[in-house]
Structure 1
């Protein structure tokens, strides 16, 4: 089977976007790591200087002032520890469970089984995760290449509560979307389709237009997401 020039071009463009997004994400993580390391170093130096100053002040102060200085010192140490904790979070080695794929600091799993949207979400929860919430273009590009071509997978987006008001499962409103042309259409008025209140992503289509709404009872695979 031969692909048309248009299909080859589309695949090439999708791969280029995926590679660029991956490169940008990696570069961003390295920049964040270096920034946090610099902040931590500055905080450590400042704390050393402040300790010396506070020690000198304590020797010349009465008890109330000493109490205040002690509280102030503890506050500074708490802030410093927070910076160190954040820095450690970004720099320590992390990994995903077997079968999961890492992107950024997040692990993703494309299910082997198929089922309803609710079944997919329950499976994700049983794994300590949840259906994926797509909150960046980079993540959208990554997910668009996660599964084989023409795979339909549930994502954590629904308008079950209010028809036409799409929300992510974490409660956040949908701001940036990647709906296919003329979607979502809630079945287009076809009684055989019923209500289409759950969203899925379809691989092999244009990265910026590969979402569709479907009946939540339809049997699809699903994508789980959790922090590494």
Structure 2
């Protein structure tokens, strides 16, 4: 079963119908996800589902919470995604992002699962490592009226978790 799915999925990716479901004669039917493709209390955008927790956590605990909920700690990969996520955050609150410089000070790595994300949206004075241990990034909704990132202490600061998972496609023919 896994082998058949892999071959079918690979064929779909290589067909002219990427992002669509191909029929035998290569006629394509568009598929799309809607809100029903996300679990309850998750929000759909693009091809993913997002959830901002009510509870606050340290950065490591936020990563664990997202895994427990079936997702990963997220990080935006565009201005549009950053704006969508900011709208999910209560005013003047923040969420942890899977972005840190724990390995090498000043060299920020932002990942979504195991995929490196190049996008950055730092507030103009950030990252500043003002407390010498600000190694994790958070997106704040309202930091100086902006929806940008800042660095915080991974272990002594607490923020909500931004959890993300792939949306499940719903076929529309």
Do structure 1's residue 216 and structure 2's residue 165 form an aligned pair?
no
Shift of 1:85: 7.4
Kindly indicate whether structure 1 or structure 2 has the higher relative contact order, using CA contacts under 8 Å at least 6 residues apart.
2
For structure 1, the residue ranges without an aligned partner over 5 or more in a row are: 1-77, 188-192
**Equivalenced residues, count:** 145
Structure 2: state its 5+ residue gaps: 1-9, 22-28, 168-173
Q: Which secondary structure does the structure 2 equivalent of 1:183 belong to?
A: coil
Larger radius of gyration: 1
| RMSD over equivalenced CA pairs, Å | 2.6
Residue 186 of structure 1 corresponds to 129
With over 3 angstroms needed to count, the CA separation of the structure-2 counterparts of 1:80 and 1:110, relative to structure 1, is: closer
For 1:160-215, what per-residue CA distance to the aligned partner results, in whole angstroms no more than 9, with x for missing partners?
1111011113455563321112110112xxxxx341000001002324xx210000
Residue 62 of structure 2: aligned partner: 120
Question: Which of 85, 91, 95 is equivalent to 1:143?
Answer: 85
1:87 aligns with 2:29: no
Instruction: Compute the TM-score of the two structures, normalised by the length of structure 1.
Output: 0.57
Q: Give the drift of 1:82.
A: 5.4
Higher helix content, 1 or 2 = 1
Question: Normalized per residue, which structure has more strand?
Answer: 2
CA distance in 1: counterparts of 2:41 and 2:64, whole angstroms: 18
What is the DSSP-based 3-state SS (H/G/I as helix, E as strand, rest coil) of the residue aligned with 2:20?
Answer: helix
Rounded Cα–Cα distance in structure 1 between residues aligned with 2:13 and 2:125: 51
Q: Secondary structure at the match of 2:64?
A: helix
When normalised by structure 2's length, the TM-score is 0.74
